[in-house]
A = this chain, B = another copy of it.
Amino acid sequence: MDNTEKTVWKGSALTGPVPPALVVCGTAERPNVLTVAWTGIVNSHPPMTYVSVRPERYSYALIDGTGEFTVNLPTSSMARETDICGTLTGAKTDKIKKCGFTLSPGTRTGVPVIAECPLSLECRVSQKLDLGSHTMFIAEILAVQVASRLIDSKGKLNLQQAGLLAFSHGEYFALGRKCGNIGFSTK
């Protein structure tokens, strides 16, 4: 078989790898966390992200209610907790307690961040798009909290040391072999 032979399927929500983000929503007193794979950066200046959430999910009204959320990136050692937060509903389970997460306050939002995650984005919704199955919450990233241990003496963030978790087509992966730095091909 020709190695580049392709099979054509109808349209499908397929891409990867993506960050399986732990999204905290609600309030400091009554927070909830859900895992969202449909997230990413949509703008650099000002920095903006999005999360796409089904209106049926318990967290939808929490995000919609406060207009705030935090995106917390898990490490590969947090795969189990990440899966729990994407599988169980906050309507029936205190997932933060079940996962043993430590919450710490947001600095620009009323929503807390997950201390165990090496990178947390504090976000405020600026726009909401109903696209069909999901509603896309587009949000400005007001502040980021990074694990101090990842910042070197020059103030540079060494995010590769965090060991971030990846999600691709229903499977979780650790990041593996480094293939290069941006711009390496033209140096």
Q: Does A27 contact B (CB under 8 A)?
A: no
Given contacts A17-B164, A52-B43, A169-B159, contact A115 B182 (CB under 8 A): no
* Interface pair B171/A178, CB less than 8 Å apart: yes
Q: Does A33 contact B (CB under 8 A)?
A: no
Name which residue of chain B comes closest to A48, CB basis.
B131
Q: With both chains docked as a complex, state the minimum distance between the C-beta of A150 and any C-beta of chain B, in angstroms.
A: 9
Q: Does A42 contact B (CB under 8 A)?
A: yes
Question: How many copies, total?
Answer: 2
* Interface pair A17/B120, CB less than 8 Å apart: no
Kindly identify which residue among B1, B71, B146, B147 contacts A148, using a CB–CB cutoff of 8 Å: B1
Q: Does A58 contact B (CB under 8 A)?
A: no
CA distance A85 to B5 in the complex (A): 23
List of 7 A-B pairs having minimum Cβ-Cβ separation, nearest first: A176-B176, A40-B40, A79-B179, A43-B131, A83-B185, A11-B141, A4-B115
